[in-house]
A and B are shown apart, each in its own frame.
Chain A
């Protein structure tokens, strides 16, 4: 199956700082990357869809100026949480959109804790 990595796996930061999360596809090229977040005891919620070489599309209620997404290459997509606050503490997971593939792969996730 497709191999997806995320870095960092865990990050703790102070309120007001920005945090960048990288998602890499290691053995394939992903023109589309989905970003999800998961709060404790809840399911995955789609935040945004990044497309290589174009602007990301955001789900309703997700602030595009707070969650900056960059998809500069076919193997790397980044999510930057700007001016993080404690309510942004969550598990962030990326998943490549692979046309014609019926098994959806996920990165291992990044646990963000904002103090």
Chain B
């Protein structure tokens, strides 16, 4: 199957750290993406993981465990502008076909 699960919504405080989890069951796994999407806009790329481990990019980090079918996106030093939907997507094959999770709506409170 290609079930990709992530929490529907999360709330965090400005300046804090939040971890958004994603689990997947998919054959032909070829990488995992995290995207940020603000209301009414197209998704913007955050990170890509294909090997196990942690990828760090500024305030955002993404982790992958292929054996566990698990990834998380870590956001540090949260800012109000980080309030958005965060989408986990699995690359199905090298052709670029992405299967998306339902997205996690993150609300950052002052």
Contacts and interface: CB of A to CB of B under 8 A. Distances in A.
Interface residues of A, number: 27
B45 A46 contact: no
A99 B94 CA distance: 6
B99 interface: yes
A106 B43 contact: yes
- Interface size class, chain B: 20 to 34
Nearest to A94: B42
B24 interface: no
B33 A104 contact: yes
Describe A's contact surface by its main secondary structure: loop
Interface stretch (B59-67, B75-83, B100-108): B100-108
B110 interface: no
Given A32-B95, A49-B97, A95-B96, A44 B45 contact: no
B48 A42 contact: no
B33 to A, nearest CB: 6
Contact of B48 (A49, A95, A103): A103
Nearest to B4: A43
A58 interface: no
Closest 4 CB pairs of A and B: A97-B96, A106-B42, A43-B100, A43-B103
11 contacts: A32-B96, A34-B97, A42-B103, A43-B101, A91-B40, A93-B42, A97-B97, A98-B96, A102-B31, A104-B89, A104-B91
Given A32-B95, A42-B102, A104-B45, 13 more contacts: A1-B45, A34-B97, A43-B103, A44-B89, A44-B98, A91-B40, A96-B96, A97-B97, A99-B94, A100-B94, A103-B48, A104-B91, A106-B42
